[in-house]
Amino acid sequence: MRMFIGNRDVPLQIAEELGWYLDYGPRARDHTWGCALLSKFPITKSKHYLMPSPEGELACAIHATLDVGGDALDVLVAHNGQEETPLDRELQTKLEGEILKNATNPIVFIGYVVTTPSMPNYNWLVSDGNAKDIDPTDYDRWCEYIVYRNLEKVGYARISHGGITDTEIQVGRFRMNTNTDNVKEVKLT
The residues annotated with a catalytic role in the active site are 79
Report the distance separating Cα 114 and Cα 133, nearest Å. 15
Is there a contact between 148 and 131 (Cβ–Cβ < 8 Å)? yes
29 to 26, 65, 81, 112: CA distances (angstroms): 8, 25, 16, 19
